[in-house]
Structure 1
Amino acid sequence: MAKIAKAAFDGQDLKPMWAALLGKLLDGTATAGEGLDLALVAQLIGEKSSGLAIQHDVLQAQQLYRVAGNGLAPRLRVLALAASTDMGSNTPIEFLLEDTDIELMLLYVVPGAELPSPLPAHDVAIVIASDSEDCQHALHEIDAVAARWPRPLLNPPQRIWHLDRDKLHALLAGVEGLLIPATIPAERERLVEVADEREPIEDISEALGFPIIIRPRGSHAGVGLEKIEEPIELSLYLDERDEQEFFVSRFVDYASEDGQFRKYRIVFVDGTAYACHMAIARRWDIWYLNAGMAASEGKRLEEATFMQTFDIGFGRRHRSVLAAIAERIGLDYFIIDCAETKNGALLVFEADNTAVVHNMDSPDVFPYKPPQMRKIFAAFADMIVKRAAAAAEQAA
């Protein structure tokens, strides 16, 4: 997965790989692993439905996969429990364990296939399925046996469920110095009433008021995400969408004094917060890839400073808030996307366990990133080692 993702990230043409893998699949010579590679390539070239169909068929025949390592004799074995879903709904754990001496196995928990008995030999297990709707079967299957899992089980389903958008606000409510607008589920019928000005939006929830942020329930990566200033804009938005259920929240203007928006990604590993990236743009709906970071030396300098001074800068300013987030969410590994408000509070947009944390950026353009990514990866590997050692000591 990591090598294919890197090829796509670098802009390589994946169609020759697609054609070669498809040919092997059609003539019956493809391995199950190559079938999964084909499913991933299909999604990366925009053929999501075809990719998911291929993945479904492959996983009906085989659920366990060993990820090719770096050739070193494995020190430990990690079993990652995944859902049969799109490429963005499982933790991309291969990036985290790349170039380590930890062996990684992926076990897909799919409808109609029981968990293997006995389980594959492993030292630590980790749930990498997200809280999205198409991962719920896997989470429930794992949760049913979590209490009896024979090895340390990281990121258990009960805590992954905390990350649901309409639960996270309640979980983090009351943390001093933290702002997280309530995310309100709303059905199309109610929103149409608001759009037609037959009902004020405050009737849906007193936490709402224009401007709002709206997205279809279950959407990812900004699909369908819009800022709505007034009812007529809501009407136009609904005219363009087919979904029946949405998430709505109050818009918070987090622009800095220079008019630019700054969005931060923070990674939590074993309770400790690490800087992952910082995006700067003149648009509120920032993602790293639309912020033009590679084209701006000034933005990169600011991001480098954010990373290199995190422990005495951003991390220190928000130390108590970050500690409270780590404690309340309680996952061994997760990510938040956040910003700073005009009055200095930490504005949390979302938390999840599947956001991409990688070292794919060009070191020539972003020379400050590889050391920071290696720091995160080392912390993740150290956590695995620590949990395995604690379990071994307890069993002795």
Structure 2
Amino acid sequence: MATPLPYRQQLLDDLDRLERRIAEGDPSGELRLGRADLLARLGREADAREAYLALLAVMPGHSGLLNNLGTLLDGLGYTSAARTLYREAVKHHPDHPTGLINLGTSLQKAQAFEEARVHFAAALALAPDSIEANRGMAHTLAGLGDEAAAVPYREKGFRQCPTLAYPYRGEAAPIELLVLGSSVGGAVPIRQHIDDRLFATTVLFADFADPTAPLPPHRLIFNAIGDADLAAAALRDAAALVARSTAPVINRPEAVLATGRAGNAGRLATIPGLITPNMAMLPRASLPDAAAILADHGIAFPCLLRSPGFHTGHHFVRVERPEDLATATAKLPGEMLIAIEYLDASSTDGKIRKYRVMMIDHALYPLHAAVSHDWKVHYFSADMAGSAAHRSEDERFITAMEQVLTRDQLRTLADIEQVLGLDYAGIDFGIDRAGHLLLFEANATMVVNPVDSDPRWDYRRAPVQRVMDAIRALLRARAA
């Protein structure tokens, strides 16, 4: 057996000493809390969770317990349970910045931006120089569409410290992984797929990185800047950083840079069997002439309008008539808007289906089929939980995609993957009544989340795990 790394051996020694002291008595629970923290740092998540949960009855309002258990659960994908714990921490300790920051971060990721801003403001009032609070406020204000207000917080949160290190919990010498990020967001949701028993991970925010400083030690680079519309400048910075390294790169920045919505619609339009929407960039100053501009680009009504850089339906509206443009655009942030031709994905039953296929290391993996009566289809808001029939459609797609899609449709997906040229990406698409694939979105920002514990989703566990295994295999293979 390999000798543990020195810092890991120190954790094991500390754990041994704590357990001997606990055996002598621990009425307050503080020693057992320290033990749970050590178990978490050692990567023994199941043991740590059991230890934390046992302590809730002993010290239900303890700030460290609530925050640390929340962080553990959040890292395991149980975001709702983590948020509940963070709320408890803030309720019992409203003057502790840690709980406020954790709750604000959880809310910001859930796009509950108004509430997140309240908690980040409270944290900054207590700790104005907190890097985490400033970064969180910057992301929150950007999510609210107030980019100008986000800038000073972003500067304070990233300028002096453009890196972030994830804890390493392995027993052997780690593989050093460099993840390139962007301070403005648009990240590939990769952290939960990085095995922290194999990789020691450093995140470098490319748009604040010193171009003359040595790169952090690394054997593999993962470019996690995934949104070309939001983070084009950061992608160009990332390309310059990558050029200074000889390490293998997952999702090369220049390939991601070509995946903006309008760019994809143009370059994928020639793929047989695929229909891409016409698009037009609308400067806000041009809105009085928007109807004429849309007509020139072949965009009829109803059409779609969205602010660049937002996902999951945020700042995204359907406009039925030219006279509705002024009202619709008033709700959207940003100086530039994207007008998108509406592609009718409704089936003969009147329902709309949105399919997602992940593209991992140049192989296709079905992730979901969402069925809804609404044009804006997202799996989390579609008519899935309450409909056994819809879940049955989803199950058939993710377990036997080749029986749901025709051979021509599968070939179209393979052609899209080849043109994108990304190692990690996904495509959201519909199917019209003639059998053509309708492009909704194709980029690297697609999320692969763990399956909820509700038994209704049991059928999803093995197919989703297959995708997650493919992501981890990609990282291991490139690192080799």
Read off the aligned partner of 2:87 and give its amino acid letter. K
Matched, 1:289 2:380: yes
Structure 1's consecutive aligned runs of 4 or more residues displaced over 6 angstroms after TM superposition are: 19-22
How much has 1:165 moved relative to structure 2? 1.1
- Partners of 1:78 and 1:102 within 8 A in 2: no
Aligned pair in 2 of structure 1 residues 189, 169: CA closer, same or farther (>3 Å)?
Answer: same
- Partners of 1:67 and 1:103 within 8 A in 2: no
Matched, 1:4 2:74: yes
Question: Which secondary structure state, in structure 1, belongs to the residue aligned with residue 300 of structure 2?
Answer: coil
Matched, 1:52 2:137: yes
- Partners of 1:109 and 1:141 within 8 A in 2: no
Q: Aligned runs of 1:255-270 on 2, under 5 Å? A: 255-270=346-361
Q: Aligned runs of 1:67-216 on 2, under 5 Å? A: 67-68=166-167, 71=170, 73=172, 76-86=175-185, 89-97=186-194, 101-109=197-205, 111-114=207-210, 117-132=213-228, 135-194=231-290, 199=292, 201-203=294-296, 205=297, 207-216=298-307
More contact order relative to length (CA 8 Å, sep ≥ 6): 1
Aligned pair in 2 of structure 1 residues 72, 308: CA closer, same or farther (>3 Å)?
Answer: farther
Match of 2:319 in 1: 228
Aligned pair in 2 of structure 1 residues 170, 2: CA closer, same or farther (>3 Å)?
Answer: farther
Match of 1:40 in 2: 105
Match of 2:436 in 1: 345
Which stretch has the larger CA shift, 357-366 or 279-288?
A: 357-366
- Partners of 2:182 and 2:207 within 8 A in 1: no
- Partners of 2:273 and 2:408 within 8 A in 1: no
- Partners of 1:180 and 1:348 within 8 A in 2: yes
Read off the aligned partner of 1:161 and give its amino acid letter. L
CA distance in 2, matches of 1:332, 1:270: 5
- Partners of 1:76 and 1:385 within 8 A in 2: no
Matched, 1:307 2:387: no
CA distance in 2, matches of 1:379, 1:224: 32
CA distance in 2, matches of 1:194, 1:335: 31
Q: Which runs of 5+ in 2 are unaligned?
A: 1-70, 121-135, 139-152
Taking structure 1 as the reference length, the TM-score comes to 0.83
How much has 1:138 moved relative to structure 2? 2.7
- Partners of 1:35 and 1:55 within 8 A in 2: no
Read off the aligned partner of 2:388 and give its amino acid letter. E
Aligned pair in 2 of structure 1 residues 314, 155: CA closer, same or farther (>3 Å)?
Answer: same
Read off the aligned partner of 1:52 and give its amino acid letter. M
Question: Which secondary structure state, in structure 2, belongs to the residue aligned with residue 287 of structure 1?
Answer: coil
1:88-112 deviation digits (Å, cap 9, x = unpaired): x2111122235x7432514132555
What percentage of residue pairs aligned between the two structures are identical? 25
How much has 1:192 moved relative to structure 2? 2.2
Aligned pair in 2 of structure 1 residues 189, 137: CA closer, same or farther (>3 Å)?
Answer: closer
CA distance in 2, matches of 1:193, 1:41: 40
Question: Which secondary structure state, in structure 2, belongs to the residue aligned with residue 213 of structure 1?
Answer: strand
How much has 1:319 moved relative to structure 2? 2.2
How much has 1:136 moved relative to structure 2? 3.4
Normalized per residue, the structure richer in helix is: 2
Alignment length (residue pairs):
374
1:247-300 deviation digits (Å, cap 9, x = unpaired): 112111111111111101111011111111111011111111211312221111
- Partners of 2:282 and 2:290 within 8 A in 1: no
How much has 1:115 moved relative to structure 2? 5.8
Aligned pair in 2 of structure 1 residues 70, 363: CA closer, same or farther (>3 Å)?
Answer: farther
CA distance in 2, matches of 1:388, 1:289: 34
